[in-house]
């Protein structure tokens, strides 16, 4: 009976996992690896906690990097290739 229950629970979990959307975990894997190693070095049982904290920090850093990139892209001039901005044209007039 116990084996049947465990098999059914595993089948339900697999089915739900297949239906879930893919995770966007930029930075999590790298942070979790570093945090897990650091937690393991600290002492017994801290590897999992280190991995969890490392994942959170990695995600935070990746999001911060993405925001900076978006900000820089938004501030970049939107000129055609080879065209100078109006204030840099020889006569100062727009085309």
- Residue 90 makes CB contacts below 8 A (sequence gap 6+) with none
pLDDT bucket at 92, cuts 50 / 70 / 90: low
At 79 the pLDDT is 55
pLDDT bucket at 93, cuts 50 / 70 / 90: low
Any domain includes 10: no
At 9 the pLDDT is 87
Any domain includes 5: no
User: How many structural domains compose the chain?
Assistant: 1
| Other residues' Cβ atoms within 10 Å of the Cβ of residue 46 | 16
* Cβ(50)–Cβ(36) below 8 Å: yes
- Whole-model pTM? 0.52
- Domain encompassing residue 56: 25-74
Any domain includes 18: no
- For residue range 42-89, list pLDDT tens digits in order: 888 889 999 999 999 999 999 999 999 999 888 876 655 555 555 565
């Amino acid at each position: 009976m116990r084996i049947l229950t465990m098999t059914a629970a595993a089948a339900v979990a697999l089915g739900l996992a297949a239906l879930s959307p893919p995770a966007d975990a930029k930075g999590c894997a790298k942070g979790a690896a570093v945090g897990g190693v650091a937690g393991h070095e600290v002492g017994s049982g801290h590897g999992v906690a280190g991995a969890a904290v490392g994942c959170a920090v990695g995600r935070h850093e990746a999001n911060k990097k993405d925001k900076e990139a978006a900000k820089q892209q938004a501030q970049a001039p939107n000129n055609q290739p080879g065209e100078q901005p109006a204030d840099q044209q020889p006569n100062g007039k727009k085309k």
